Every structure is written in structure tokens, then in C-alpha cells.
Amino acid sequence: MMRIGVIGSGTWGTALAVLLIHNGEAVTLWSAFEKEAQQIRESRRHPNLPDAEIPNSLEITADLEKAMEGKDILVLAVPSIYVRETARKMAPFCRKGQIVVNVAKGIEEESLKVLSQVIEEELPEADIAVLSGPSHAEEVSRFLPTTCVVGAHSRETAETVQKVFMSQVFRVYTSPDMMGIELGAALKNVIALAAGIADGLGYGDNTKAALITRGIAEISRLGTAMGGKPQTFAGLSGIGDLIVTCASMHSRNRRAGILIGKGYTMEAAMKEVKMVVEGVYSAKAARTLARKYQVPMPIVEQVNEVLFEGKAAGDAVQDLMLRDRQIENRDLEWE
């Protein structure tokens, strides 16, 4: 039995805590708020996961030191915008060589770093891994079959995390490409906003397929320019996560996009969704990175103009459709 601390009691952290308890591990779930910890502890329910039963064996606390003390693995499951702040709070209680698995998805807007890099700055002696893939919390908490990938600096760490999370309903692959995994996970949220906007405008399956296909092309271009591997973007944290995030109503990014397509402002859409919409925070960073690496990302550009510059969603789609004629794959040659 492994001792695991899940740092963050949002839907994803709670779903993973429930999964790990059912895998036979000893799990403590940490909330940043005492009132929330007490509510979950007493009701054995999470307000945003109404179908999930939280076992009595899952310990729930608002004491960060208690959640971390003596743990074999820590799972960092706070929203991306709180990762640095939370990791900094963890630092006094983090031992050398502590395995910390990041499960948040995003790019830090100010530094343009992926989240594992942010955590490594705040917890320099920890052994950082990342877990990602097409995995909505609502389905994981109900034990519906799900597949993810874990990346780490060493094979040993990746296989340790793989073994802990693996079950009959949660299959985990390993990969050395942490950068690719994290970029795929973060950038797909921006494309999912675009897919939602298209839905809100009343467009159909053809439009959705186009956004997914051209979206993964943009993600792959930037991802490989930053050191990610092409195979990763064809895998679970690339096209896999992009498909599920663009297609599912569990996706807060798609739901926010639908509202924006219907005429909501970005702020009003985020308020309506009532959860952190990661794509909004990753969009500016994605555009800045695209320009830094001189990588064309027209969908990301248009999403930024809609979110932050007041551009009408319909005009953004029109501008995408009327771009100059292009070759689909520049690596293919004419005979």
C-alpha cells in the first residue's frame, strides 16, 4: 500500500483520490479551505461530482503539512493558475526526492513555463512527474474506462506512478516526453474554446472536425519547436485529449466557448461555467510562444482576438476560412 497525498480538492483531484482509494492505496485529500474540507468530509460528496461516492477511508484535511507528511507520492491537482503559489506553500514540508505528480494543465502566463518547470523552481529537490490524457473527472470518478500517460525524467519514476494509478478502469502508459505531454495538455484547451465558439455559433460537425484537425497541427508545430516529440502529439495527451475536450459537455473550455459564441463576454462565460476555464489563461501564453518560436497558429490568434480584443466570434471564423491558400503537409513532395 502506497501513502498518497492529493493536493487540491477540485473535481480532478477528488476524482483521482477516489480512484486511488479504490486501487487500495492510503490517500489523504487536501483542500485549501477548511469549510470545504469539512463539507466533503461530512457529506462524502463533492458538489461538482454528484454521482461520485467518496469512501469513508479517504481522509480529508485543510492541513497541508498533514496531507504531505510521510507520503510516498504527492499529486498536485490545483488549477494551473494556483500551481506556483501552492508549490511554494508545499516547499517547507517537501522532502528530498519526493515524487510530485502534476495533473494540472496549463502554461504560466508570466514566465511561459510549463507547469512541471514551475514546480521544479519551487520544489527543486522533488522528483516531478506529469499525468495527462483524455480524462474528465466526472467519468473517472464513476470508474468509466479511461487511459492516460505519465511522463517523468526517469523510467523508474514513471513506472512507479504508472503502477499506482493503473486499474481495470484506468490504464496508464509511460513516456519520457514531459514537455510534449504538458504542451499538448495546455494547448488543447485553447482549441477547445474555439470548438465551443463554433458550436455556439450554430456550426456543425464539419467545422468541429476542421478545428480538431488543424488544431492538432498548430499544437504539433509549436510543441516540436519547443522540444516535444511528434509522436506525443499523435497520442493521448495530444490528439486524444484534444478530441475529448472539443467534443464533450464535461469540458469547461468547450462550455465557455459555446457561451462566447452565443454572445457572452469572456468574463460572463467564465462566471457562468463556475469553474476555472484553463484555456483562457493559456491562450495569451500560447500566442506569445507562437510568436517567439515563429510558428503560425491562426486558430490561437483568432481565439485571443475574440477573448481579449472584442472581435466578434463570427468574424474570427470568417477570417480563418479566408486565409491565404495553404499546403496541408509541407513534408510531402510532389512526384
Angle at which helices 298-308 and 205-225 cross, to 10°:
110
Q: How far is CA 228 from the centre of its chain?
A: 16
Summarised one tens digit per residue, pLDDT across range 47-64 is: 999 889 999 999 999 999
Cβ 108 vs Cβ 79: under 8 Å = no
Give the integer Cα–Cα distance in Å for 65 and 168.
32
Query: Which fold would CATH assign to domain 3-176?
Result: Rossmann fold (3.40.50)
Least confident of 84-98, 125-139, 269-283, 295-309: 269-283
Residue type, 181: I
pLDDT value of position 320: 87
What is the pLDDT confidence band of residue 234, given thresholds at 50, 70 and 90?
Answer: very high
Residue 181 has pLDDT above 90, yes or no: yes
pTM of the entire predicted model: 0.93
Q: Please indicate whether the domains covering 3-176 and 179-321 agree at the CATH topology level.
A: no
CA dihedral 274→275→277→278, nearest 10 degrees, is: 170
Average pLDDT over residues 167-179: 97
What are the φ/ψ torsions at residue 142 (nearest 5 degrees)? -100, 5
Domain boundaries, the chain: 3-176, 179-321
Residues with a catalytic annotation lie at 188
pLDDT of residue 323: 81
Q: Where are the alpha helices (DSSP H) in 129-177?
A: 137-140, 155-165
The three cell numbers locating residue 323: 486565409
Q: pLDDT at residue 38 above 80?
A: yes
Is residue 174 within 8 A of residue 285, CB to CB? The reply is no
Average of per-residue pLDDT across 3-17:
97
Average pLDDT rounded to a whole number, residues 173-197: 95
The pLDDT score that the predictor gives to residue 321 is: 83
Task: List the alpha helices (DSSP H) in 178-327.
Answer: 178-200, 205-225, 230-233, 241-247, 252-261, 266-273, 278-292, 298-308, 313-321
Mean pLDDT over the full length of the chain: 94
Pick the CATH number of 179-321 from 1.10.1040.10, 3.90.1150.10, 3.40.50.10490, 1.10.30.50: 1.10.1040.10
Q: What distance lies between CA 42 and its chain's CA centroid?
A: 29
Mean pLDDT of 220-249: 95
Per-residue model confidence as pLDDT tens digits over 71-94: 999 999 999 999 999 999 999 999
Residue 243: how many other CB atoms lie within 10 Å: 18
Above 80 in pLDDT, residue 119?
yes
Q: Going by C-beta distance under 8 Å and a sequence separation of 6 or more, which residues neighbour residue 198?
A: 207, 208, 211, 257, 261, 317
Average pLDDT over residues 191-217: 93
Residue 159 has pLDDT above 80, yes or no: yes
